[in-house]
Chain A
Amino acid sequence: MFANFSVRLKRFGMRLLTRPRLDLPLLLALFLLACAGLATLYSAGNANLSLVGGQAARFVLGAVLLVVISRIPPPVLRSWTPWLYMGSTALLVVVAALGEGRGAYRWLDLGFMRFQPSELLKLTMPMMVAWYLHPRQLPPGWKDIIVVGLMIAVPAALIAEQPDLGTALLVAAAGAFALFLSGMAWWRIGLLVGGAGGAIPVAWQFLHEYQRNRVRTLLDPESDPLGNGWHIIQSKIAVGSGGVFGKGWQHGTQSRLEFLPEHTTDFIFAVFSEEFGLVGVITIMLLYAFIIGRCLWIAMNARDTYSRLLAGAIGMSFFVYVAVNGGMVAGILPVVGVPMPLISYGGTSAVSLLTGFGVLMSIHANRKLHD
């Protein structure tokens, strides 16, 4: 038994070296990003090693999940997809029921850990859309678009109700990107986007007061410098004062002196910008662009529709994290709770992101060899 196991382990190790199932460039980019994240966290957390250690442990857990999931072939994932999607949506309903009358409620307490079911949807949503479109005639017609739209809308609405606008946006975007990649006609996209634009005044009615205030504050942050505007003003000061080359690692006064709120989580990129300047920002942005591009490259080489759409959607939704968080920190987008991927402190986000990259690795491993 033991001998058998060690033989298999040895064979696995050999395979890993001779024919890597993992995409090394993507892995390297993720690794660099994680290192930059830990370094920034060390500075933002005032050299708090236990903070950095905790985050590193989550990266390790995420990496293990990445490797494990990369071993699951896409067809198996595809067969699980409806169940995963329905299960995670059902958990959202449970959370909504538990949270009745309690204000913001997002967590499910499992005793040993708490987790947000909405995080699961970040992955199960594009899986579901890809699963649905996989056997269909592409590009999709109105009927399929409407079905996919409903698949996206139901969980997104449940999450937005929690209320967690940031995650709802990420989940909806992941589904929408899958639809986009499936070749949905441009005129149909234009029609939908135009319709959504027209729906903004209606949506405004359904936003919570605190969300409206966030938008109002965004438009004129200086109007409320001690209340809602504080985050944005201090964040802009941090970014702007960084200049081209930054103040240097561990020399960012805005975070060190705690003027910057949430400086280890949602606003950690302000710390990064303050300490590493525009040079650092562009470097990180290039890294993110590389990761997105690599994901799309993997998607192009995937062997079936499901894999293509899923890989492409995961890669593109990575952009939403970066753009929304980066825009928020720089004061051009509202403050919604979207973390900077692999840089912001926070376990659930890191683990779910790396799980998503695990799926990508699996798709990469099972790519078509020649076309």
Chain B
Amino acid sequence: MSRRRASIKEVRGEVALFRRRALAGFFLLLLGLIAVCSRYVYLQVFHHDEFATRSEQNRVKPRSIPPARGLIYDRNGVLLADNVPAFRLEVTPEQVANMDDMLQKLGAVVPISDDDIVTFKKQVKLGRRFEGIPLKLKLTEDEIGRFAVNRWRFPGVDVVPYLTRRYPLGAALAHVIGYVSRIDVDDLDNMDDDEEASYKGTTHIGRIGIEKSYEKLLHGEPGYELVEVNADGRTQAVLDTTPPTPGKNIYLSIDVRLQKAALDAMAGRSGAAIAIDPRNGQVLAFASVPDFDPNLFVNGISSVDYKNLMTAPDKPLYNRALRGVYPPGSTVKPFLALGGLTMGIRRPSDTVLSTGEFCIPGQSRCYRDDVRGGNGTVNMVRAIELSTNTYFYRLALDMGIDRLAHWMGSLGFGSKTGIDLTGEVEGVLPSREWKAKHSKAGWYPGETIISGIGQGYWAVTPIQLAHAVATFAGHGVPYAPHLLMDTQDGVDAARVPQSFPPTGPSVIRKPQDWDTVNEGMIAVINSGAGTGKKLGIGFPFVIAGKSGTAERFSRKSDAYDTNKNTAYLATRHRALFIAYTPAEDPKIAVAVVLEAGAWGAADSGPIARKILDQWVVDSGGARPTALPPGPITLSDAPAEAAPPSASSVQGVQPAAPSSSELPPDDNGEDQ
């Protein structure tokens, strides 16, 4: 009842109230609609241009055209890396109803490895369904033929031409040029957006060697075509095309003839041989043995091949010239002598009496000469010629380890040379700082002494040794070794020389200092008593050099090693040799390291000589007469270190860090 009465009573007022409310409500809603409309005005009138552009960008897609990779030549224009047409199988996923079934049937026609399938499936997940995805690269003619016959059975599978990389010289320059291989997801992750954009459509990327360090030059700039895409992003029409800029061609300073001579001379023995032009740091030969065929890697190495390379005992993938570390042995002596002169610690005429044994005054430990009984009284030239340990023990002691380390460091030891290859290692330059980082014990005078003959903690890479000898031969002007000589914008364009200025002023203070050490190194090769005598026979120029023989293993006893069997010694020694010629005005400097050589002069020396012979030929001279057969000399006994008794007294392992003691197994592969 009350409800009814209320509604009757209030009906007129309520209708009026509702009317007001409805009008107010409608007014508010209109305001709301106007607000929404004004947003549309804002977007459609005031920002129309901006959004029209973005809509156009949605519709029109740039599609990249990959650039052709730059070619690589040696200094004389011999082609070292080439692009050759090849064919690959591509699959367009959306046109394949049952992928696994198709792959199985296709595998019966064209053999497809499991590796290929794994890579392919990964790319299918990343790519667009209507874009072709490479399944198998580098089809043989036979495979193309068989597929052509069966093609109708495989909708969505096509044979597509592409350019692949080929290294005509194969293994000979594997450790220099490196190789390219297929770009993978990790590569793309490591790039910033701009870089990633420039690799759109590119299938290969430089992995190691020159291919990697000059990737930017070689890669080039992709071109673009503007394509209109339809509903699914499929191309409808090409609107505009900007052609790609091919990568620059590269001329290396390597001389292939010299490289081959070095490899031939090494004859498969593990080690490295490097030739550098001391006048500018250009690397003329860069051999690391053993090597491998880089062509295997280009289109995806098979797991069998890869396993073989990885498990081979002599580690063919390991770049010994760049990353191998070895005790330099007596090859450091000329550099030390130069230091003595530069610092004013020694005059050329100062003599030392070599008795066969050098003892630190006031201590009982003694360090041996090479020859029982010693070399007698020697001055600097004679000490270099005969590789007299006592002279250099004393010099090192007088110099002190700090000055020794600083001086040797100025010749590039203990740091990267800056060669234009990636993965270079620093080796070990013995110093208090280095030891403090690696051992709790302090520095002992005995360690200074053996550092004077390139033993102890010393560990150098062949490129460091070559760099040091080239720096010396170039009258002390340091150049970072480099392989890049010229670039070229296309096969018909002119070669553009690349300049690499010296990295610093000459390390030599007085020309006479250089002359003295040069004289000693000439004597090594050319005097009757020198450790490298005979190496200069028949050569049109004067060669200067120095041998080094370093022991891989510490001696077990103080006794002289009486086993002179070469094969036996080769298992214990590393044979080193440095040389340059012409001595009066050096134009080529060489460093050779053999991992297993009995004697530096006898085993590495002839390799250096053969490289120099080839250099004479290349420079237009007649081929020098061959070396006389038989061992060069046996007088270059290993520059042996302190006996173990001494070291055990000191309580520090005298052996250099594992890197110089062990075969390269532990040095980390370049893979």
Beta-carbon nearest neighbor of B18 in chain A: A308
Cβ–Cβ < 8 Å partners of A181 in chain B: 18, 21-22, 25
Q: Which residue of B lies closest to A332 (CB)?
A: B39
What range describes how many residues of A lie at the interface? 35 or more
Main secondary structure of the interface of B (DSSP, over half): helix
Chain B residues with Cβ below 8 Å from A281 are 37, 40, 44
Give which listed residue, B4, B25, B48, B59, contacts A316 with CB less than 8 A: B25
Does B510 reach chain A (CB closer than 8 Å)? no
Interface membership of B6, Cβ < 8 A: yes
Q: Does B433 contact A (CB under 8 A)?
A: no
Tell me, rounded to whole Å, the shortest Cβ–Cβ distance linking B82 to chain A. 40
Q: Specify which chain B residues have a CB less than 8 angstroms from the CB of A122 in the assembled complex.
A: none
What DSSP secondary structure best describes chain A's contact surface? helix
A257 touches B58 (CB 8 A): yes
| A292: nearest chain-B partner, CB-CB | B29
State which of B22, B54, B230 has its C-beta within 8 Å of the C-beta of A241. Answer: B54
Question: In the bound complex, how far is the Cα of B16 from the Cα of A371, in angstroms?
Answer: 12
**B41 interface residue, CB < 8 Å from A?**
yes
Specify which of B4, B45, B50, B59 is in contact with A278 (CB 8 Å cutoff).
B45
Interface flag for A293 (CB, 8 Å): yes
Contact call B21/A282, Cβ cutoff below 8 A: no
- The answer to whether B21 and A327 have CB atoms under 8 Å apart is no
Instruction: Give residues 118-142 of A contacting B (CB, 8 Å).
Output: 134-139
Whether A135 lies near B3 (C-beta < 8 A) is: yes
Interface range, B side: 35 or more
Q: Is the C-beta of B491 less than 8 angstroms from some C-beta in chain A?
A: no
Q: Are A253 and B36 in contact (CB under 8 A)?
A: no
A319 B29 Cβ-Cβ under 8 A: yes
Query: Is B306 in contact with chain A by the CB < 8 A criterion?
Result: no
Does A213 sit at the interface, judged by CB under 8 A?
A: no
Contact between chains at A253 and B51 (CB < 8 Å): no
Q: In the assembled complex, how far is the CB of residue A321 from the closest CB belonging to chain B, in whole angstroms? A: 12
Within the assembled complex, what's the spacing in Å between the Cα atoms of A278 and B14? Answer: 40
- Whether B26 and A293, one on each chain, are in contact in the complex, defined by CB atoms closer than 8 angstroms, is yes
Is the CB of A224 closer than 8 A to any CB of chain B? no
Q: Does A338 contact B (CB under 8 A)?
A: no
Q: Which listed residue (A289, A316, A327, A371) contacts B39, Cβ 8 A?
A: A327
Within A274-322, the residues touching B (CB, 8 Å) are 277-278, 281-282, 285, 288-289, 292-293, 296, 299-300, 304-305, 308-309, 312, 316, 319, 322
Q: How far is the CB of A274 from chain B (nearest CB, A)?
A: 8
Q: A285-B37, A296-B22 are in contact. Are A242 and B44 (CB under 8 A)?
A: yes
Which residues of the other chain, A, contact B238 by a CB distance below 8 angstroms? none
Contact (A282, B37) CB under 8 Å given A243-B44, A273-B44: yes
How many angstroms between the C-alpha atoms of A256 and B59 in the bound complex?
10
The reply on A183 being an interface residue by CB < 8 A is yes
Q: For B6, what are the chain A residues with a Cβ–Cβ distance below 8 Å?
A: 135-137
Chain A residue nearest to B16 (CB atoms) is A183
**How far apart are B19's CB and chain A's nearest CB, in angstroms?**
6
Q: Which residues of chain B have C-beta atoms less than 8 A from A331's C-beta?
A: 39, 43
Q: List 16 extra interface pairs beyond A243-B48, A299-B22, CB under 8 A.
A: A137-B10, A237-B58, A238-B55, A239-B40, A240-B52, A241-B55, A243-B44, A253-B55, A256-B231, A257-B58, A257-B229, A285-B37, A316-B25, A330-B36, A330-B39, A331-B43
- Can you offer 5 A-B residue contacts whose CB atoms are under 8 A? A183-B21, A243-B45, A257-B230, A282-B40, A300-B22
B-side interface residues toward A, CB under 8 Å? 3-4, 6-7, 10, 14-15, 17-19, 21-23, 25-26, 29-30, 32-33, 35-37, 39-41, 43-45, 47-48, 50-52, 54-56, 58-59, 229-233
